[in-house]
Structure formats: C-alpha cells, structure tokens
Structure 1
Amino acid sequence: MMLKGTKIYSIFTGTCPKCQQESMYENKNPYALSDVLKINEKCSYCGTKYRLEPSFFYGSMYVSYAVGIAFAVAAFVISYLFLGSSLFTAFMAIVGTMILLGPIIMRLSRNIWINMFMSYDKNLVKK
C-alpha cells in the first residue's frame, strides 16, 4: 500500500506504530464492545511495548474530545447545510453519529495518541 510507513496508515489501520505489521488490538472489530479497548501488551513482530507507562492511554481522552467534535460538526454540516434538515433533525444526526461511531472514535483516538510518541522504523520490517 502506498501509505504504509506513514503515521496516517498506522492511525487508520490500528497497526503497530513502529513496524505496521499487525494490529495493536486483541480484536480487530471495534464493534465487539467488550473488547473495544483491549490492546495487546506488545507487538509480536517487533516487540514494541504499547503501554509506555501505566495509564498511558488516559491522554487519548483529550484526543477523543477533538475527534468527537470533528465527527459532530461533520454530521451537522451534512444534515443541516447539505440536506436542509431542521435543527432538531440535525441534533439527532449528531447524537446518532456519536452513538454509532463511538467505538471507532475511541480506537482512532488511541491510535492518534500512540502515534504522537512513536514513529515508523523501516529497519524493523524484514524484506
């Protein structure tokens, strides 16, 4: 893939930020709600430890707020401005978007957070 080796690839796929060879999550499906935040201890390919310190991912809550606002604004713009719905309908579109995309927002926020502290290392990938 063309984007492999970039932070964008790791953020959107949820792969290891160092080698991008495997998923950081025990279950790749974000809608398996009991496993949505269960993350592997380390990458089995390159050995990168995902929890840099205890409670490392608490910082992703700040990112989650920003990502949630972005999704809410997008839902508003699409429903109110493009589709011409009422304010109440636009509000319901925002609520629906936040409920339906909640697990994706949580994972996306964690992916962004860990990629702020780690970068891809092309030397870790075996050719």
Structure 2
Amino acid sequence: MLKKGSKLNSILTGTCPKCQNESMYLDKNPLHLNNILKMNENCSHCGLHYQLEPSFFFGAMYVSYGLNVAIGVAAFITSFFIFHSGLKVAFIVIIAALIISFPFVLRWSRNIYINMFVTYDPKTNKK
C-alpha cells in the first residue's frame, strides 16, 4: 500500500512525487509550525521544481477545504451518533478536531495537489 511509486506513499510521506526519494519540505515534522510551509526549491535527486508555476499551491486551498469538511463530518458523526452527545458538544468536537488536524491537513493538501499534476517516474531512480 505504501510502496514506492504509489501516490499514497508520496502524499503521506511528503516526498517528491516524481522520484519519491526526498522530502519536499525543509523540516519533515509538520508540528514545527514555524517551518510548516517551508519547502525545498527543487528535488536534489531528480531536479523537479516543486513550484510548477507562480502561486501554484494556491490551488491546494480547495483540497484543504475538502479535507476539512471530511474531518468535520467525521467528527460530527462520531460525537453525535456514536457517543450520543448534544449538538453543542458535537460542534466543540468539530472545532477541536479541525484545530488538532490543522498542520497535517495543510501539508496533506499540498501533497495531494502536487500529486494531481506530477506522476511517479521509475526512470529517475535508475541513475
């Protein structure tokens, strides 16, 4: 499932979508909030320029919106229907879930967005 060459591997690990040998981010830990969006300019292994065009990652906002809606719906269903909490508690759980997942969603949305445009190339690993 997370073998090299799969989109899911690149999305969850934050590696270069073309060669999957190097992290796209300067700091691999998404919980270091000061460095959460700092990315390398290019992949040192295959040379892929991560910023495919000016303001490329603005499109990741739409992916982030979808991920946040999914997390919010999952949090609501879990708290309201499974744990039978009230509406106020369910909405507090939604807000807490969104705050806790914020750094991960921010990175995942960028990873998903770039993987929509760049595919894995096994030839880049035969250097």
Quickly name the TM-score band, shorter chain normalised: over 0.9
Report the Cα offset of residue 55 of structure 1: 0.7
- Report the TM-score when normalising by structure 2: 0.95
Using the TM superposition, give the Cα deviation of residue 2 of structure 1 relative to its aligned residue in structure 2, in angstroms: 4.9
How far 1:45 moved relative to its partner?
A: 1.1
Counterpart residue number, 1:33: 33
Structure 1 residues 33 and 122, CA gap change in structure 2 (3 angstroms):
same
TM-score, structure 1 normalization = 0.95
Distance 2:90 2:3 in 1: 34
Q: Is the 8 A contact 2:2 2:8 kept in 1?
A: no
Aligned residue type for 2:29: N
Counterpart in the other structure of 1:24 = 24
Q: Corresponding residue for 1:10?
A: 10
Shift in Å at residue 126 of structure 1?
3.2
Displacement of 1:85? 1.2
How far apart, in 2, do the equivalents of 1:57 and 1:116 lie? Answer: 12
Which residue is equivalent to 1:69?
69
Bigger mean CA deviation after superposition, 1-10 or 72-81: 1-10
Aligned to 1:95: 95
CA displacement at 1:37 relative to structure 2: 0.7
Q: Which runs of 5+ in 2 are unaligned?
A: none
The one-letter code of the counterpart of 1:12 is L
RMSD: 1.3
Q: Aligned in 2, Cα 1:2/1:71: closer, same or farther, shift over 3 Å?
A: closer
The size of the alignment, in residue pairs, is: 127
Unpaired segments ≥5 residues, structure 1: none
